Amino acid sequence: MLRPSDPVAGLGGLNMAQKRAIKSLGAETVGDLLEITPRRYDDYSNTVSIRAAPRNEPVTIKVTVKQLKKQPGFRRRITIIRGLLEDATGSLAVVWFNQPWLLDELKPGREIFVSGTITAKPKFGSQMANPIWEATDSPLVAAGTIAPVYPLTGSVAQKTMRELMARIVEDVDDAPDPIPEDVRSRARVAPLLDAYRSVHRPTSLDDAEEGRRRLAFDEILVYRLALGSARHDADEAGAPAVPFDEAFAKKFVSHLPFPLTPDQKKAAWASFQDMTLTRPMRRLLQGDVGSGKTVVAAFLMAMASRSDQSAVMMAPTELLAKQHASSVRRFLQVEGTPVLLLTSSEKTLWEGGEKTVFNLKQARERVLRGRLVVLGTHALLERSMLPPDTALAVVDEQHRFGVAQREALSVATRPDGKVPHLLSMTATPIPRSLALTFYGDLDVSVIRQKPSGRLPITTRVLVGEGRPLDFAQGRLPAYDLVRREVAAGHRAFVVCPLIDPSDRLGVKSATDEAKRLAAGPLRGLRIGLLHGRLSNADKDGVMSSFVEGLLDVLVATTVVEVGVDVPEATVMLIEGAERFGLAQLHQLRGRVGRSSHPSFCFLLTDAEGDAVDRLTVLERTNDGFVIAEEDMKLRGSGNVLGTQQSGRDIFRAARSTDLELMTLAREAAESLLQNDPDLAKSPLLAARVASVRETSHRE
């Protein structure tokens, strides 16, 4: 007998593999384990005889092992085991890869269930490859059932997880439900214990979906409750007001090198109104790549500093923080506002026409004195480097949805307990239905028009001919264009994908490509190389050479994905384009088309079929919202919630397509909070809310 609150440490009778599984999942209680939702299910419930077994769909067959042999030779590192199984109706060939122990386990004469898909190949005849199997004398875990497919980490086998979970659901006979009965019945979701059973040992795919729906409901509900309480806390704490100085605003605008677009003005004006209040602003600024979000942020920061308070802006990378420092400095020149760049490798202050380089201690001292604008990386600013008089915090390009969700939850507080106004900027278009649920209380401003004079980026998909390394023919038009553009004084990016998993930073793929281009297709051009392994000083050096025009072509990994702004760059070549998502390609493409010169993007691929068709969406449109929607359709219910299926993510069961459920959970959260603002009557729910808020603070 088990309860969800029991510690996993107390679980008896586990084998080593199962203990390792639990440890790698970081689960502390039985409930933690039960909340792990399968990625999908394999339907092995179709039990048939060998003769009646259909091809190309999952089946389960009860068989006797006739013989099992190791296939000699071939490639040394792979063990291949071939077997022959039989039942009353015929015999079946099977093959297993890399499971040498089967020779000991599956002796001739043993009766087992095998589950898998039989395929027929002209050369090998019909066979089942890598079937799962189970002894007929033990209760079935996978064979003959709807088998959950769990997200796995490291060395834990699917079989281990299935056995572990099957056993746990079997033993749990009571699960106190954190959600009151009336709320549950209004949303028509199953009781918790039933949901656990449906999810881990479903009797049908519909049953599994019922269970998932309940767990998803919980996640969304808890998230909404956490949002509500975060907002409540922020309101209680209050924000420093930033008075609106109209004369100053006019002066700022008149000193800009360009007129603001109507949407930029609207976004700035809405924010100024929020900032005059002592209720903390929580605003999301959405604008496609190149739409000009930075200047809006600079405008707000200038206003904060006009009121003798500080403002900070956080970027996801050092590269971007540096770029912000230089553009924001340009925009702020009018007033001579002190600007501090704060990254792990560089701490520089510009004040009164002077530039001072600090060490960490000096930088911290300066930060503590306040009255400045700080541009830095999240990593640095979130930790103790927030000026005590910060009135405004801007978060740029936090375009991973999952991170943004946490940000909506966390409330940065100053030493005096006040909460700075928050502007969060993203180029990721978020469909309205999701924005409503996941940002809920954030106000949203959208920049739709691009600055005038921008031309759409001409995009072409080029399919390489022949072998992957035979770059010759298909890529020629792209290289010709690079040469022509460089001759006209412009620049080009070449982005390389991560190919080899051991090459996590893309060092090899980008280095090889730079060499190849220099030796052949782009010989004679000045080619630079940018990847994650370079020292910060080298990255800087390469980047500024490219910005200044000392390099014609920059071969890079996706480090250039977000925010990099080099208006003279007019060509973007993306190698291995099929490896990227559409939204990411759109981001990368957004590195060009930042001036009034025509720009071009080539998506180079050696793939075929669907992978190529998908890319043509980018040929047809430059609209980030359209692309995001296509991306969502193509990827189906998957990952728009942006969270990986690991660790303790907030959303594991919920999907971006659960629109009805989102509405139900939103309503449930509202009514719960209305009747019981502190959730005093639902302690289990309150504990979950607290834990979500706690997690978002730590990350």
1 vs 173: CA distance, rounded Å: 7
13 vs 51: CA distance, rounded Å: 40
Chosen residue from 474, 567, 581, 598 binding ligand ADP by CB under 6 A = 567
C-beta of 145 vs 271, nearer to ligand ADP: 271
Contacts of residue 106, defined as CB under 8 A and 6 or more positions apart, other chains included, come to 65, 68, 83, 112, 133
C-beta of 289 vs 654, nearer to Mg ion: 289
Site for Mg ion in 560-579 (CB under 5 A): 563
Q: Give the x/- contact pattern for Mg ion in 524-553, rule: CB under 5 A.
A: ------------------------------
Chosen residue from 261, 584, 643, 696 binding ligand ADP by CB under 6 A = 261
Binding of ligand ADP at residue 290 (CB under 6 A)? yes
Taking every pair of Cα atoms in the chain, the longest distance, rounded to a whole number of angstroms, is: 92
Give the interface segment with ligand ADP, choosing from 126-134, 193-201, 461-469, 560-568 (CB under 6 A): 560-568
Amino acid making up residue 613: D
Residue with tokens 């969502």: 632
323 vs 495: CA distance, rounded Å: 19
Give the interface segment with Mg ion, choosing from 151-159, 310-318, 557-565, 595-603 (CB under 5 A): 557-565
C-beta of 163 vs 561, nearer to ligand ADP: 561
Nearest partner of 162 among 172, 149, 146, judged by Cα: 149
What is the DSSP secondary structure assignment for residue 39, as one 8-state letter?
S
Give the interface segment with Mg ion, choosing from 4-12, 480-488, 555-563, 644-652 (CB under 5 A): 555-563
Site for ligand ADP in 413-442 (CB under 6 A): 427
Chosen residue from 58, 83, 211, 287 binding ligand ADP by CB under 6 A = 287
C-beta of 447 vs 640, nearer to ligand ADP: 447
Print burial letters for 350-384: b (CB count within 10 Å at least 16), e (below 16): beeeeeeebeeeebeebbeeeebbbbbbbebbbee
C-beta of 234 vs 297, nearer to Mg ion: 297
The angle formed by the CA atoms of residues 195, 196 and 202, to the nearest 5 degrees, is 80
CB of 289 to Mg ion, least distance (A): 7
Nearest partner of 429 among 619, 542, 287, 259, judged by Cα: 287
Under rule CB under 6 A, how many of the chain's residues touch ligand ADP? Answer: 18
C-beta of 202 vs 563, nearer to Mg ion: 563
Binding of ligand ADP at residue 562 (CB under 6 A)? no
Give the interface segment with ligand ADP, choosing from 57-65, 230-238, 286-294, 580-588 (CB under 6 A): 286-294
CB of 164 to Mg ion, least distance (A): 46
Site for ligand ADP in 451-480 (CB under 6 A): 451
CB of 456 to ligand ADP, least distance (A): 15
8 Å CB contact between 151 and 12: no
Q: Give the x/- contact pattern for ligand ADP in 582-601, rule: CB under 6 A.
A: ------------x-------
Q: Which contiguous run of DSSP H or E holds residue 421?
A: strand 421-426
CB of 290 to ligand ADP, least distance (A): 5
Binding of ligand ADP at residue 565 (CB under 6 A)? yes
260 binds, among ligand ADP, Mg ion, none (CB under 5 to 8 A by kind): ligand ADP
CB atoms < 10 A from the CB of 421, how many? 26
Give the interface segment with ligand ADP, choosing from 11-19, 285-293, 342-350, 597-605 (CB under 6 A): 285-293
Q: Give the x/- contact pattern for ligand ADP in 350-389, rule: CB under 6 A.
A: ----------------------------------------
DSSP letters, 425-477, are EESS---HHHHHHHTTT-EEEEE-SPPTTPPPPEEEEEEPPSSTT--HHHHHH
CB of 556 to ligand ADP, least distance (A): 17
C-beta of 275 vs 395, nearer to Mg ion: 395
Site for ligand ADP in 241-260 (CB under 6 A): 258, 260
Binding of ligand ADP at residue 116 (CB under 6 A)? no
Give the interface segment with ligand ADP, choosing from 173-181, 266-274, 338-346, 563-571 (CB under 6 A): 563-571
Contacts of residue 620, defined as CB under 8 A and 6 or more positions apart, other chains included, come to none
Residue with tokens 């405008």: 299
Residue with tokens 């040992």: 201
Binding of ligand ADP at residue 292 (CB under 6 A)? yes
The angle formed by the CA atoms of residues 554, 555 and 556, to the nearest 5 degrees, is 105
Amino acid making up residue 216: A
CB atoms < 10 A from the CB of 541, how many? 15
Binding of ligand ADP at residue 291 (CB under 6 A)? yes
Q: Looking at beta carbons, which residue is closest to ligand ADP?
A: 292
261 binds, among ligand ADP, Mg ion, none (CB under 5 to 8 A by kind): ligand ADP
Residue with tokens 């010759």: 472
C-beta of 201 vs 594, nearer to ligand ADP: 594
Under rule CB under 5 A, how many of the chain's residues touch Mg ion? Answer: 1
CB of 401 to Mg ion, least distance (A): 17
C-beta of 397 vs 552, nearer to ligand ADP: 397
CB of 266 to ligand ADP, least distance (A): 13
Virtual torsion, Cα 568, 342, 283, 677, nearest 10 deg: 160
C-beta of 583 vs 689, nearer to ligand ADP: 583
DSSP letters, 566-611, are -TTEEEEEETTGGGS-HHHHHHHHTTS--SSS--EEEEEE---THH
8 Å CB contact between 692 and 226: yes
CB of 289 to ligand ADP, least distance (A): 4
CB of 559 to Mg ion, least distance (A): 15
Structure tokens at 452: 């005038």
Binding of ligand ADP at residue 624 (CB under 6 A)? no
Q: What is the 3-state secondary structure (H, E, C) of 89-158?
A: CEEEEEEEECCCCHHHHCCCCCEEEEEEEEEEECCCEEEEECCEEEECCCCCCCCCCEEEECCCCCCCCH
Parallel, antiparallel, or unpaired: how do β-strands 47-48 and 58-71 relate? parallel
Binding of Mg ion at residue 211 (CB under 5 A)? no
What's the count of helices (H) and strands (E) in the chain, helices before strands? 23, 24
CB of 293 to ligand ADP, least distance (A): 4
295 binds, among Mg ion, ligand ADP, none (CB under 5 to 8 A by kind): ligand ADP
Chosen residue from 214, 293, 322, 531 binding ligand ADP by CB under 6 A = 293
Contacts of residue 413, defined as CB under 8 A and 6 or more positions apart, other chains included, come to 237, 419
8 Å CB contact between 459 and 616: no
C-beta of 124 vs 258, nearer to ligand ADP: 258
Print burial letters for 636-672: b (CB count within 10 Å at least 16), e (below 16): eeebbbbbebeeebbbbbbbbebeebbebbbebbeeb
Residues that bind Mg ion (CB under 5 A): 563
Residues that bind ligand ADP (CB under 6 A): 258, 260-261, 264, 287, 289-295, 427, 451, 563, 565, 567, 594
